[in-house]
């Protein structure tokens, strides 16, 4: 970690050590070589304030996008709910017709109810 950050030959970008695997946890991600290099670059060049402002902009943009997506999804859900209600009403209207045709059919004989005999409980002494 004591190494200085390596800049590209033209000085326009940072050369990071690229790892082949992506860390699974947040803690491991923070300690990955790429992120440590970024932290080191920010610290060595006194860019903490600028980095914080950039992160705030990114967070605000993501929150705005998430809110916009949620608002866009709300009318779609209302339309789907209205369509579902319309389908339910149509199904209810069609249902009595099917019941009426079933009533006109011959009645089916119901099986006789089975009688269940209960065993007498033993007497207590």
The closest alpha carbon to 42, from 32, 55, 60, belongs to: 55
Length of the chain: 125
Q: How far apart are CA 32 and CA 17, in angstroms?
A: 9
pLDDT digits (tens, 9 = 90+) for 36-92: 888 888 999 999 999 999 999 999 999 999 999 988 887 777 777 777 777 776 666
pLDDT digits (tens, 9 = 90+) for 6-25: 777 787 777 666 666 777 78
Q: Give buried/exposed letters for 105-116 (b at 16+ CB in 10 A, else e).
A: eeeeeeeeeeee
For the entire predicted model, the pTM comes to 0.41
Percent of the chain with pLDDT over 70: 62
| For residues 27-42, average pLDDT | 84
Read off φ and ψ for residue 7, nearest 5 degrees: -90, 155
* Domain parsing of the chain, residue ranges: 1-46
């Amino acid at each position: 970690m004591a190494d200085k950050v390596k800049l590209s030959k033209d000085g326009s970008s940072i050369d990071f050590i690229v790892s082949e695997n992506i860390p699974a946890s947040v803690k491991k991600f923070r300690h990955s070589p790429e992120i440590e290099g970024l932290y080191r670059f920010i610290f060595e060049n006194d860019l903490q304030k600028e980095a914080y402002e950039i992160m705030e902009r990114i967070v605000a943009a993501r929150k705005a996008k998430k809110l916009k997506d949620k608002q866009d999804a709300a009318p779609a859900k209302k339309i789907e709910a209205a369509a579902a209600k319309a389908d339910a009403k149509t199904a209810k209207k069609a249902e009595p017709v099917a019941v009426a045709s079933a009533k006109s059919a011959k009645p089916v004989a119901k099986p006789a109810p089975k009688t269940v005999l209960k065993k007498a409980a033993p007497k207590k002494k």
